[in-house]
Structures are given as C-alpha cells and as structure tokens.
C-alpha cells in the first residue's frame, strides 16, 4: 500500500463506545487526504461494518462493551489483510501493547496525544510505518526480547488439553470451517459467546487466527 486509495483518500474507521471520542477523532483527522468512512460503538457492530467497508486504517479502543478491542483485532486482522489496524486507547500496559501487535495491529496510540500527532500517525500507519510512541515501542521490544513463543504455550502437553470442554467443541467446529453463527446454532449458544470462546482458544493455543487453530487441532488429533 504505497499511496491513497482509488478515491484519492485514506479511508478511516473508528471503533469506540463514546460518541464524543468518535466526534473528536473525526475532527482531529480532518484533512484533504483523509476521510472517516464508518464508526462503530462496539466490537460486534465493527465486525460487520469493517468487513463491509474495508477501511484503509481502523482505529480501535481496547475497552469496549462485550467483546474487547483486542479480541476484535484478533478476529479482523486475518480477514482484512490490507487494513492497517491501530489501537487508540487509554491503556498503555505492556501486556495490552504486546497482545495488540501480536494479534495484528500495526500501531498503538494513547488518547492523550495531540490531534496533529493523531493525523500524522494515521498517515504513517497507512504508509506501512509503526504508529507508536517511541517509549511504547522500546518497551514492546524489551518485552518481546525477553520471552519466546514456547513460553506463551504450556510445554510438554498438547496445547488443546488446556482448553475447556466447550472450547474443544468450538475448536472442532472451527476445524470443520463453520462460521460463528453456525457454531452457535450447533451448540445452542449465542454468537457472542462463540466469539468469546474463539478468542480464548486462539490465546491458549498461541495462534493468530482460526486457520492456524484448525491446523493445530488436526495435528493433535
């Protein structure tokens, strides 16, 4: 992605449950080369809207009602490979930063940044640069350098043994390539509950997306 979209604009979507924040962000990034194309107040809305709109840059808060912003990133990143996902939140914990980047975000911004810095970060993310304060980036590198992938997954036993019985049921249906709605109907639970189970499964298996989870399931069965 080396330049503006075919319409000549960087198309941005924001996911935040506070209307004032969405309005402030829209104002802050107002520029001739940037267009706010969609908003969502929660992750469930965002899943549908983002897949339909396919924005160039997606700004996501972590603390959302229901599914969290991190869970949303985990679900959307593999489905929207051309969308640059950037966290925009009040949390600056090392764990949240590492998880966001690990799940597919290309930037992590805190809400105390200045409006002009937000606009620069949107442009930077679109251009393929890491949209993150230097201090956060340095902490992220130190954290990642201090742990290996093997430390993220329990060693010695098959990873799937750490799943609950219900999570194993969901994983089996993921391997059969069922959608969240189909899994919900099969197990008699809500789609939101399925999404929560999927996020937990990906975390416990140490994988980034459903395809990797299905592959892990086939390897262990």
Residue 5 is assigned to a structural domain of this protein: no
Chain-centroid distance, C-alpha 1: 19
CB-based contacts of 85: which residues, under 8 Å, 6+ apart?
A: 57, 58, 60, 73, 76, 77, 104, 105, 106, 107
Average pLDDT, the chain: 86
Q: Residue 175 belongs to a domain with what CATH number?
A: 1.10.10.10
Q: What pLDDT shows up at residue 91? A: 84
Q: State whether 140 and 160 are in the same domain.
A: no
Q: State whether 63 and 160 are in the same domain.
A: no
Q: State whether 84 and 140 are in the same domain.
A: yes
For residue 109, is pLDDT > 90? yes
CA–CA separation, 194 vs 178, rounded Å? 11
Q: What pLDDT shows up at residue 221? A: 61
Average pLDDT over residues 75-98: 90
For residue 217, is pLDDT > 90? no
- What's the structural domain count of the chain? 2
Tens of pLDDT, residues 132-191: 887 777 777 766 665 544 444 444 445 566 788 889 889 989 988 899 999 998 899 998
CB-based contacts of 23: which residues, under 8 Å, 6+ apart?
A: none
Q: What pLDDT shows up at residue 159? A: 58
Between CA 138 and CA 121, with CA 61 as vertex, the angle to 5 degrees is: 55
Q: What pLDDT shows up at residue 86? A: 97
Average pLDDT over residues 76-86: 94
**Better-scored residue on pLDDT, 118 or 221:** 118
Q: Which domain holds residue 206?
A: 153-220
Of 35-39, 87-91, 135-139, 203-207, the range with the highest mean pLDDT is 35-39
Closest CA to 74 of 98, 104, 47: 104
Q: State whether 138 and 198 are in the same domain.
A: no
Q: State whether 15 and 65 are in the same domain.
A: yes
Share of the chain above pLDDT 90, in %: 52
Q: What pTM, to 2 d.p., does this model score?
A: 0.64
Q: State whether 17 and 118 are in the same domain.
A: yes
For residue 82, is pLDDT > 70? yes
Using the 3D structure, point to which of 145, 168, 187 is the last residue of a domain.
145
């Amino acid at each position: 992605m080396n330049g503006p979209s075919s319409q000549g604009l960087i198309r941005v979507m924001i996911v935040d449950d506070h209307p004032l924040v969405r309005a402030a962000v829209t104002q802050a990034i107002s520029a001739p080369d940037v267009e706010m194309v969609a908003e969502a107040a929660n992750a469930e809305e965002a899943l549908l809207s983002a897949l339909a709109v396919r924005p160039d840059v997606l700004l996501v808060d972590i603390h959302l009602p229901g599914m969290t912003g991190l869970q949303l990133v985990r679900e959307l990143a593999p489905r929207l490979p051309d969308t640059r996902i950037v966290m925009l939140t009040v949390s600056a914990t090392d764990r949240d930063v590492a998880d966001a980047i690990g799940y597919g975000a290309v930037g992590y911004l805190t809400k105390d940044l200045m409006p002009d810095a937000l606009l620069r970060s949107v442009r930077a993310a679109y251009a393929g640069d890491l949209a993150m304060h230097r201090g956060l980036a340095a902490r992220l590198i130190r954290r990642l350098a201090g742990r290996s992938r093997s430390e993220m997954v329990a060693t010695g036993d098959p990873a799937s043994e750490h799943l609950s019985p219900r999570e194993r049921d969901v994983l089996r249906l993921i391997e059969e390539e069922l959608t969240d709605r189909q899994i919900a109907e099969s197990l008699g639970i809500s789609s939101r509950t399925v999404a929560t189970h999927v996020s937990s499964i990906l975390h416990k298996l140490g994988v980034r997306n459903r395809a990797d989870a299905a592959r892990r399931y086939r390897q262990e069965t």
